[in-house]
A and B are shown apart, each in its own frame.
Chain A
Amino acid sequence: MESNPNIKTWTPATMVMVVLIIVGISVGLYRMIYGLGATTNLNDAYPWGFWLGLDVLGGVAMAAGGFIIACAVYLFNWKKYRPIVRPAILTAFLGYLMAVLALFLDIGHPFRLWHPSIMWQYQSVMWVVAMHVIFYTTTLALEFSPMLFERLGWEKARRAVGKIMVGAVIFGVMLSTLHQSSLGAVFLISPSKMSPLWWDTKLPFHFLVSAVAMGLAMVSFETALSKKFLHHEVDKEIFTGLARGLLIVLGFYLLLKLYQLFTVASPAMAFDGSVEGNMYLLEMFLGVILPVAILAVKKYRNDLKVIFAVNIIVIIGVILNRMNVCLFSQESYGAWRGLGYSPSWKEFLVSLGVISIGVFLYKMSAKHLPLFSH
């Protein structure tokens, strides 16, 4: 029995994904056997590379849509968004699973991933991040479970979860805001490594606000994709509502970033032609200024095709921001240390595999679980 029999399992895209997953898993096994040094180009100046920047930081930011929509639907009772609450939660759940998977491969001793849950080091932001990941992934699993119980016909279990759902959502929102911001707080330790264009004591807030923007864009983006490929019909109002929210959040983010540019860094640093300056300009233009400029026009804000494009741009911009914070803001430091970094092909393959796993699981869930039942 399938929830959406009109979704075909074996399409060319799916087959490509399966190949990428197999390759990614193979390289992942290689990393488990031969270690990080043999697999990645990480070094002393760049201990956090592509996996951290894209899969963990990007993946977690992508997952922000889960808590935003859950909050809107379960806490604020904005019924309009009910059709997309399950896809949003699923995305968040898969995003976190991918982040955990990437983290598992990225840390030096993968099988010590559970250590923070037993060995508490509450002076450390890293410990906070680890605990958040553990708790929030569990919470997301709980928020996700009704779909599974419905599919399996476990009515009792579903009703039990339904009773604590609001509590779980409140807990999840709390954890999520803390987790998104504490991922930024991790970087507070390296003011001397990072360019002031990014480093700021308010970096955690930047991370939270940009994650909200990314979450909104991501939910809107994948709803549009589901509509097109998975034949999931939704009202146009959902898209325009999300676009309006995106405009507000991005506008606020722009103010935050400008305040930081003028108080902590200086505009001249952005225009000095250095790698940091150029990447900052690109990130700000693509991820913030361009979307705000487009969405500010009412005509475009109501055009689904434009909204779709803007969503993509915002997603690219925020991922660019995470890569910048994690890697390129430290260009001067890396050059001073005499060390360079560009990911090895193995790192690329693993990242592709991890992303493919996420997309593949989403598609399989859409096919087999009551994802779009209203």
Chain B
Amino acid sequence: MKSKVASSHDKQLGGVTRRDFVKFCTGVAASMGLPLTVAPKMAEAVTSPQRPPVIWLSGQECTGCVESLLRTHHPAIDSLIFDLISLEYSETLNAGAGHQAEHHRELSIEANKGKFILVVDGAIPVKDGGVYCQIAGKPVLDILNETAPHAAAVIAIGSCAAWGGVPAAEPNPTGATPVHEILKDKGIPVVNIPGCPPNPYNFLSTVIHFVTFNKLPALDDKMRPKFAYSRLIHENCERRPHFDAGRFAEEFGDEGHRKGYCLYKLGCKGPETYNNCSTLHFGDVATTGCWPVGTGAPCFGCSEAGVGFDSPLFSKARVSFPTPPAQAPEAVPEKGSGAKSFAYGVAGAAVGATAVALANTRGKDED
């Protein structure tokens, strides 16, 4: 089959130019640590006429994960759901509504048995038979239990789906439960993409990896993709040198905070949270510091079970790894501007002294 991607350089893929699209695939490959040579393969896979069907279920959630996915531009959500995947059902993005939408979900599950990707956002309440979250009069617990066995892969997006998140916070009145615990009995593996919201590209990369290679990316013991969750935020944090040198913001708005010092003492949970926020920033603006710590807000550990929505916001994080002593040389020196002010101070003094000296030449010579 002739490659659809390579066939014409000016052909547009649903509003995405070929150039932009291959760039996107390259970016995805890079962010997962895959060789760049797989980028064309990815492009083939996601543009094949057999677009992977996706069914998106929502439990106890705030739609933040979907919203953040809507804000991606490489590709934009429209090309994602119309050209790259076939979004069969999503409460947020459905064209139809009510029984029509529910009916389409059932049809789609039937038609794509064993082939579709099931994405779940939001925790699933199990108390009292799951009555605390119902869709079309049916507990989402039942919907999940019916749908999951037919899926090719289950992806839990967001902290709520991955480990409970906000709905599961103490005292957890609805019995909110993460997806993987519900499906554990059935032996269905669930990929967790925790975060509140997670970086949409971590999700996209996982989906495209699956579409390309027909298998999931390497996962850690908590079923999180290793390419995104194998490192602590603290390890790659741009403010790490300040931590190592012992320069901390002591309170919000103080000198250290304004100078961009480490936020550890303000309760930053970077040292105990596994995520790639410090290397893959948000809002499609690459490396401009568009992420919480970059804007001066301490990480609150949203993606880490037992940290986000659990430990107090301003309590200090447990630092797992020993750090170099404070007297180690600084890697990124404090911002400065040479000796400019001192130079002009000296210049002013010199001019002043000269003026005084010249002014005193007036008057009669004594000799």
With A286-B351, A316-B353, A335-B338 already in contact, the answer to whether A323 and B346 are too (CB < 8 A) is: yes
Contact with A along B319-363 (1 / 0, CB 8 A): 000000000000011111111111111110011011001101111
B350 touches A309 (CB 8 A): no
Contact across chains for B366 and A331 when beta carbons are under 8 A apart: no
Which of chain A's residues have a CB closer than 8 A to the CB of B367? 236, 304
- Alpha-carbon separation in the docked complex, A312 to B350 (Å): 10
B365 interfacial contact with A, CB 8 Å: yes
Q: How far is the CA of A313 from the CA of B361 in the complex (A)?
A: 12
Name the B residues within 8 Å of A303 (CB-CB).
361, 365
Residue pair B340, A275 in contact (C-beta under 8 Å): yes
| A279→B338 contact, CB < 8 A | no
Of chain B, the residue at the smallest CB distance from A228 is B366
| A44 lies within 8 A of B341 (CB) | no
Whether, in the assembled complex, A135 has its beta carbon less than 8 Å from a beta carbon of chain B, the answer is no
Contact B336 A339 (CB under 8 A): yes
- Distance to closest chain B CB from A285 (angstroms): 10
Are A304 and B338 in contact (CB-based, < 8 A)? no
| Chain A: minimal CB distance from B357 (Å) | 4
Closest B residue to A334 by beta carbon equals: B338
A327 within 8 A of B: yes
* Cβ–Cβ contact A335 & B337, under 8 A: yes
A305 within 8 A of partner (CB): yes
| Contact of B354 with A316 in the complex, beta carbons under 8 Å | yes
Q: A36 an interface residue at 8 Å Cβ cutoff?
A: no
A-B contacts, CB under 8 A, total: 106
- Give the CA-CA distance A275 to B358 in the complex, in Å: 25
Q: Complex: how many Å from CA A339 to CA B351?
A: 27
Indicate with 1 or 0, residue by residue over B295-336, a CB within 8 angstroms of chain A CB atoms: 000000000000000000000000000000000000011111
> Residue of B at shortest CB range from A319?
B350
Tell me, rounded to whole Å, the shortest Cβ–Cβ distance linking A189 to chain B: 19
Q: Within the complex, what minimum Cβ distance (angstroms) separates B96 from chain A?
A: 57
Q: Which one of A275, A305, A313 lies within 8 Å of B363 (CB-CB)?
A: A305
Interface residues of B in 172-207 (CB under 8 A from A): none
Besides the contacts A279-B347, A341-B342, A343-B342, what 12 more A-B pairs have beta carbons closer than 8 Å? A45-B333, A236-B367, A275-B340, A305-B360, A309-B360, A309-B361, A313-B358, A316-B354, A317-B350, A320-B350, A332-B338, A340-B339
* Interfacial residues, chain B to chain A (CB-CB below 8 A): 332-347, 350-351, 353-354, 357-358, 360-363, 365-367
**Chain A residues engaging chain B, CB cutoff 8 angstroms:** 43-46, 236, 275, 278-279, 282, 286, 290, 303-306, 308-309, 312-313, 316-317, 319-320, 323, 327-328, 330-335, 337-343
